[in-house]
Structure 1
Amino acid sequence: MSPDKKIVAVVVTYNRLDQLKACIQAIRNQDGATCDVLVVNNGSTDGTAEFLSGCTDSGVRFVDTGENTGSAGGFYHGVKEAYEAGYSRIWVMDDDVVPDATALKRLADADEFLEGDWGFLSSFARWKDGTPCKANIQKTGVFSFVGDRDRHLGLVPVKIAAMASLYLNADAVKQIGYPIADYVIYSDDYEYTSRISEQFTCYMVPSSTVLHNTAVNMKVDFARDSPDRVWRYRYLYRNDVHLYRRYGAKGWAYLVAKAGFTTANVLLRSKGDRIGKLRTLYSSLAEGLRYEPVVEETSKGRSSQG
């Protein structure tokens, strides 16, 4: 890897120390490519801070947010810290992602093949049983996802991807700014990658593979989720309106369809407070209509990594 393409892996963690250790070990044991590791400790209370403070690996450093800022806040801090430190490539992931041994090399190979002319590259994320991780399937458009046949191709053009092994080009970060911390949770990765793909060509790299150790292999289920978690969905539906309204008629069609499907799902499948959930849904959608978060631009000055 040439000095002008110094890589850092940004790992956001919150109270999952065992999974964090497995993630760091997998990153540091990559074959054919190497990188530094920057851990964003999102206010963990499970001994993560003590573990990181005592880490003797000079290639691993950390920043502590002091509180749980949500996934969006964690990735904002991580990407900003990495960019301002002068890294040219920023490899972003959650703490429950375990990259396969050649995951980074495959991304670096794609980078070289494309001669740096790309915004982000995204790995194939599988679940524990080997099937695609449903929360991490890349999108090729507002309504379309990468399919099984596409994964046999060398590179797949995509528009939206999750931050489960997302490889960022610092040139794209410089131009479009940082992730929106105010998203808190849900759709922050979709918003950021869609913003990048509006100005850069972006790809899935099927040969770069990772394991995503989520508890279950499913997308969020508002209808069946417990009452104590309903507050989280305010961010999902608010953020989705902000994200998809930028796509014009297609985006609005998606939002109307999603609102209708979610309403029916709550009425037919929810065992909890149906009225309360529907109130959360529609108040959040309404909030999204007037939601205008600020995108922080990058600073002009950067450190040099080499």
Structure 2
Amino acid sequence: MPADDRRVIAVVVTFNRLAMLQELVERLDQVPGLAEVLVVDNASTDGTGEWLAGLDDRDAGADHPTVPVLGRTLATNSGGAGGFHDGLAWAMERGADLAWLMDDDGLPDPDCLTTLLAEDDLDFWGPLVVDREALGRLVFPIRLPGGTRVVHELADVVAAARDGRIDGIVIPFNGVLVTRDLVDRIGLPRSEFFIWGDDHEYRLRAEAAGARIATVVGAQVRHPAVGSLGTPMAFSRTTYNHSPSDLKHYCMARNNLVNLRDYKGWPHALAFVAKTAWFYTFTKPSAHRLGLSLRAMYAGVRGDFTGHERYLR
């Protein structure tokens, strides 16, 4: 299908970040090529649902979005995983040829979608995600293909790119495009994951299906910094994704173990168990966090994806 004929629908998942959502919706109004914007609200308590409902009554004009914006408030918080599961299904129902998936805290450059759409031989591809306060630095580091090098600076990614992109790498759900054909082949994100690892699992599933994946270095989404994503351990030979949030850690431990087991095999999954045990025994000793990790992993092995609910507030 010619690029100009493709129906592109943006899917935004939001939770209790109304100001950021409003800024994003205003930006999306400046992005050419969008058919409409679908906002999935994860039962926010900050007025997001009411604001979305009010968009139905707005007048088109200079002070209002002109791209149609539709909102859907879920009955309960289903996390990013549930939000993207429902939002992507909604986009397919509304006839999307391409779904443009993003969280509420990213801000795509005005030419981001146009730059992405110039690549017409891909199934699952997205932009670089840069620190909105330091545009030369990546928010989510990239491990370059063919080695173990992880880069944090925009200049390093640009230097490594071939024909303007890094093939085989994408940072999911931060301004990524996915084709209807790929969704038909691999289905929707795993809603039961709630948060953490759902985006990685979707990429792994796409990769296993032979999808053509890439990061387009000329396209950018500006995103708040998230701090260090890896705490050094084992004499600084490796890192561990330690989060102060019990909710995030529970989901990470459970979902990461499941992903490793399903896509890499039990040896990799057991290595992750050992790494976690080392980290919370020697690097950052915590009997509480070690016990939480083991409970989460055991739940994942048993296929129980409800344990995180006890940590919701």
* Same fold, TM-score > 0.5, yes or no: yes
CA distance 1:231–1:33, shift in 2 (3 Å):
closer
Tell which deviates more after alignment, 87-96 or 51-60: 51-60
CA distance 1:135–1:280, shift in 2 (3 Å):
farther
CA distance 1:284–1:65, shift in 2 (3 Å):
same
Q: What does residue range 156-305 of structure 1 map to in structure 2 within 5 Å? A: 156-158=166-168, 161-199=171-209, 200-214=211-225, 216-219=226-229, 225-226=243-244, 229-248=245-264, 252-253=267-268, 255-268=269-282, 270=284, 274-291=286-303
Letter in 2 for 1:184: F
Gap regions ≥5 residues in structure 1: 294-306
CA distance 1:160–1:206, shift in 2 (3 Å):
closer
Which residue of structure 1 aligns with residue 309 of structure 2?
Answer: none
Q: What does residue range 51-70 of structure 1 map to in structure 2 within 5 Å? A: 51-55=51-55, 56=58, 57=65, 59-70=68-79
Which residue of structure 1 aligns with residue 84 of structure 2?
Answer: 75
Q: What does residue range 7-26 of structure 1 map to in structure 2 within 5 Å? A: 7-26=8-27
Q: Which has the higher strand share?
A: 2
Work out whether residues 89 and 169 of structure 1, in 8 Å CA contact, stay in contact via their aligned partners in 2: yes
Distance 1:109 1:259 in 2: 42
Could you list the per-position Cα deviations for residues 116-153 of structure 1 after superposition, in whole angstroms to 9, with x for gaps in the alignment?
A: xx320111000121244443647758967576333464
CA distance 1:10–1:144, shift in 2 (3 Å):
farther
SS in 2 for 1:166: strand
Could you state the TM-score of these two structures normalised by the residue count of structure 1? 0.81
Q: How big is the shift at 1:166?
A: 1.1
Distance 2:170 2:257 in 1: 16
What is the aligned-residue identity percentage?
A: 26
Taking CA–CA contacts closer than 8 Å with sequence separation of 6 or more, which of the two structures ends up with the larger relative contact order?
1
Gap regions ≥5 residues in structure 2: 59-64, 232-239, 306-313
Count how many residue pairs are aligned between Structure 1 and Structure 2: 280
Q: How big is the shift at 1:193?
A: 1.6
Could you state the TM-score of these two structures normalised by the residue count of structure 2? 0.79
CA distance 1:105–1:195, shift in 2 (3 Å):
same
Work out whether residues 193 and 255 of structure 2, in 8 Å CA contact, stay in contact via their aligned partners in 1: yes
Work out whether residues 254 and 298 of structure 2, in 8 Å CA contact, stay in contact via their aligned partners in 1: yes
Which residue of structure 1 aligns with residue 117 of structure 2?
Answer: 108
Match of 1:120 among 124, 136, 140: 124
Could you list the per-position Cα deviations for residues 192-246 of structure 1 after superposition, in whole angstroms to 9, with x for gaps in the alignment?
A: 12111222111111111010124x33327688644xx314322211111221223
